[in-house]
Structure 1
Amino acid sequence: MDSISPASPPASWLIRISEIFAGFSTEIIEGLGASLGKKLGSEYYLIQLPDSAAIHSSEAAKYLRWNLPVDHAWPCNPEKMEGFVEKAAQAMFRKFGERNPQAIFIGQLDPSATNRYYKTLASNLRGRTLQLFPKKIAEFKEVEAQDSSQPTLFCLVGKEGLFCGMQSPKDANGFYPGGTKYISQNSPDTISRAGAKIAEALHYLRMFRPKVKSGTHWLELGACPGGMTSELLGRGYKVTALDRAPLDKRLDGQPGLHFALMDVAAFRPNANMTYGAILSDMNNDPRESFVQVVRLSKNLNPGGIVIFTLKTQGVTTYQEMNALYQFAIDTAAAARLRHITTTHLTYNRHELTLFFELPKADR
């Protein structure tokens, strides 16, 4: 049976670069030491990568929304291919059947497409493929229940064909194929799209550390209008929120919420005011915003986390982006905040989301 040893990664990789950073795609791919094979859809790039370590270690790695070693590719137009599902499922079983993936998840190359054909095709292909693999894999239905360090068979399908590979969710940079977790924002109670951003950030963080415990006290900086505040309260957290503008009236009197109408720079918590997590989505100058986060991290409990949205509006070059990011990393390190990871979330715009932790030995 045809197979590829996990110790010898294939040269072909599928990477996802958000359209937000498409203007830097050439520099990102060159920064990986890779060459472009073909662009697929609006955000995916098929590249040739001689050194697979660069996916995680290079300066360009932070811009990759998701990545996958391509162990099996079938360039074709599935809509015009008779018996595509059966042929693709059988080929995947021949290729990966003996590699024992913990789970199989299949998604779309163009997740924003309004045409539901490929969403349905991905679902049907997964269903048929699972019939061929051991029952224990078929019983694995909860995406976020994956062991983030164990390999999963991920596949993406679209008008350009089928692309498959095995990698752990942590190495791929997401539990879901393509890295996208869809979060409904259609509820009449939705205050802003920022709620989806923090919901996805918390989901993403579970690949790296245990779930933030219910009842944790969050310090939220730049909270207006309250989309993130609402999401945190709904998850059973306590929130101290700060902003120069008021929160949405729907948050008035919410249990667990304390709001201060003030500039973050003027907030001076005493030594007894401690927090389990700090969240910043401030729209100020990003360097000044991060300086305030670091200042307030002195009131962070040992083991506490920081989630910081690094705004990049106005940054026009790849070099400027890297310098801004490095400022945050260096400033955090000087304050003994350990960098956990960085990503561009589905609901981010011109920004990156950075995650830090205060080691327990530091307080």
Structure 2
Amino acid sequence: MSELTAPSWLLRIPEVFAPFAKEILAGLSASPLKELGSDYHLVRLENPALLQESEWAKFVGWNLPVHHAWPCNPQKMDGFIEKAAQGLARKFADVSPQTLLTGPLQTAVAHPYYKHLATNLRGRALQLFPPLPAVAEVESQDPAAPTLFCLLGKEGLFAGLQSPRLANGFYPGGTKFISQSAGISRAGAKLAEALHHLLLHRQPPPQGARWLELGASPGGMTSELLARGYQVTAVDRADLDASLKRKPGLEFIRRDVDAFRPEPRDRFDALLCDMNGDPRVALRQVLRLAANVQTGGLIIFTLKGAGAETASELNAISRACVSYAGTAGVELLSETHLTYNRHEFTLFFEVTR
């Protein structure tokens, strides 16, 4: 991997942040080359470390060093799959990635042609590579080991080696798309995606763990937690969806969060907060109740945009919240933008006090 050079990078900036793209790229010292797909930017990076270290990194949903590119229109090229597979084998067969994953240069509902093309390219390329370490499922990858990612679109083929953790997702292009159609609200899909993202950094709480959920109504996230075998104490001044009444494992407390006072001996393994309003106000309640979370426990917190009109303003809000959490013995693991986030970020904390 160290012998490969990446003259350019693919950065995915979610559509909701498109008006801030110029500001975000400037913050990352990125020189734009071309816009690709639905929300990809092909750029040159002066300092790739900024993708992990800069406060601007959270605006990039997924990133990939482009070690191999083939600008072309696959639909108009005879024998594209065979030529592309041979090219990938020549470039990467000797560097032993943990697996090869291909996908369309889209982030939501991709064109069927490119989904089919990506599947066929992966199958043919794997025939040309030496046997790769077994990866039964995408999520079973080692988040710290290099994966060969390859994205395809009408602009061509873009491939590179990157660990899922550094890329910010196990899948080509980011996290697994999870439909919200069957749940109580889109919040359930947002939590499912959040728990998927968490695997990049640590294991989620085991089945049977106790969660404290703040601002739970109408219960989309509550339902998702219960479906995963968790015990949930849900707090909100508004009722939960009727389908959740008398659900095993659920304790619902109808009360304002700021009036909720659990007993000191009442302990939780994780805390979840997706409350609306000023995130600094919500975080104050989270940190107060973090005293009831076990050391090593998890906190998932949605940081709302609170009317911020620029990326710099969002950064300032985030910076203040992370600093405040640190004073309470709560350490940031990751901050990212999920598919169902709007002008907001999902923050993952670990209780270290």
What TM-score, normalized by structure 1, do the two folds share? 0.94
User: Aligned letter for 1:66?
Assistant: W
Matched residue, 1:143:
138
Asked if 1:185 corresponds to 2:192, the answer is: no
Once residues 280 and 112 of structure 1 are traced to their aligned partners in structure 2, the CA distance between those partners, rounded to angstroms, is 26
Matched residue, 1:165:
160
Of residues 12, 16, 33 in structure 2, which corresponds to 1:16? Answer: 12
Asked if 1:334 corresponds to 2:334, the answer is: no
Matched residue, 1:38:
34
Asked if 1:194 corresponds to 2:187, the answer is: yes
User: Aligned letter for 1:46?
Assistant: L
Q: Give the gaps of 5 or more residues in structure 2.
A: none
Of residues 227, 236, 258 in structure 2, which corresponds to 1:234? Answer: 227
Once residues 111 and 204 of structure 1 are traced to their aligned partners in structure 2, the CA distance between those partners, rounded to angstroms, is 16
Once residues 132 and 11 of structure 1 are traced to their aligned partners in structure 2, the CA distance between those partners, rounded to angstroms, is 26
User: Alpha-carbon deviation of 1:313?
Assistant: 4.8
Q: Deviations over 1:148-179 (max 9, x none)?
A: 11000001111111100001100100111101
Contact 1:181 1:346 in 2 (8 A): no
* Count of residues in Structure 1 that have an aligned counterpart in Structure 2: 353
Asked if 1:100 corresponds to 2:93, the answer is: no
Q: Deviations over 1:287-332 (max 9, x none)?
A: 1011111111111101101000111152101221111101111111
Once residues 51 and 176 of structure 1 are traced to their aligned partners in structure 2, the CA distance between those partners, rounded to angstroms, is 24
Closer, same or farther: CA 40–313 of 1 in aligned 2, 3 Å: farther
Contact 2:104 2:110 in 1 (8 A): no
User: Aligned letter for 1:107?
Assistant: G
User: Alpha-carbon deviation of 1:284?
Assistant: 2.1
The aligned runs of 1:112-127 (5 Å cut-off) are 112-113=108-109, 115-127=111-123
The aligned runs of 1:34-73 (5 Å cut-off) are 34-73=30-69
Closer, same or farther: CA 323–111 of 1 in aligned 2, 3 Å: closer
Contact 1:218 1:278 in 2 (8 A): yes
Matched residue, 1:270:
263
Once residues 165 and 135 of structure 2 are traced to their aligned partners in structure 1, the CA distance between those partners, rounded to angstroms, is 18
Contact 2:101 2:171 in 1 (8 A): yes
**Secondary structure class of the residue paired with 1:123:** helix
Q: Deviations over 1:207-229 (max 9, x none)?
A: 11123211110000111111100
User: Aligned letter for 1:144?
Assistant: E
Of residues 85, 89, 97 in structure 1, which corresponds to 2:85? Answer: 89
Once residues 252 and 97 of structure 1 are traced to their aligned partners in structure 2, the CA distance between those partners, rounded to angstroms, is 55
Q: Deviations over 1:251-294 (max 9, x none)?
A: 00001100111111111112011111010000122110111111
Once residues 3 and 19 of structure 2 are traced to their aligned partners in structure 1, the CA distance between those partners, rounded to angstroms, is 34
Moved more, 47-56 or 301-310: 47-56
User: Aligned letter for 1:354?
Assistant: L
Contact 1:68 1:167 in 2 (8 A): yes
User: Alpha-carbon deviation of 1:336?
Assistant: 1.1
User: Alpha-carbon deviation of 1:8?
Assistant: 6.2
Runs (4+) of structure 1 exceeding 4 A deviation are: none
Once residues 179 and 54 of structure 2 are traced to their aligned partners in structure 1, the CA distance between those partners, rounded to angstroms, is 34
Contact 1:9 1:52 in 2 (8 A): no
Once residues 210 and 7 of structure 1 are traced to their aligned partners in structure 2, the CA distance between those partners, rounded to angstroms, is 32
Contact 2:298 2:348 in 1 (8 A): yes
Once residues 114 and 108 of structure 1 are traced to their aligned partners in structure 2, the CA distance between those partners, rounded to angstroms, is 7
Asked if 1:257 corresponds to 2:250, the answer is: yes
Asked if 1:75 corresponds to 2:68, the answer is: no
Of residues 313, 328, 332 in structure 2, which corresponds to 1:320? Answer: 313
**Secondary structure class of the residue paired with 2:61:** strand
Once residues 8 and 96 of structure 1 are traced to their aligned partners in structure 2, the CA distance between those partners, rounded to angstroms, is 9
The aligned runs of 1:206-217 (5 Å cut-off) are 206-217=199-210
Q: Give the gaps of 5 or more residues in structure 1.
A: none
Query: What do you get for the CA RMSD once the two structures are aligned?
Result: 1.3
The aligned runs of 1:290-305 (5 Å cut-off) are 290-305=283-298
User: Aligned letter for 2:48?
Assistant: S
Once residues 83 and 163 of structure 2 are traced to their aligned partners in structure 1, the CA distance between those partners, rounded to angstroms, is 26
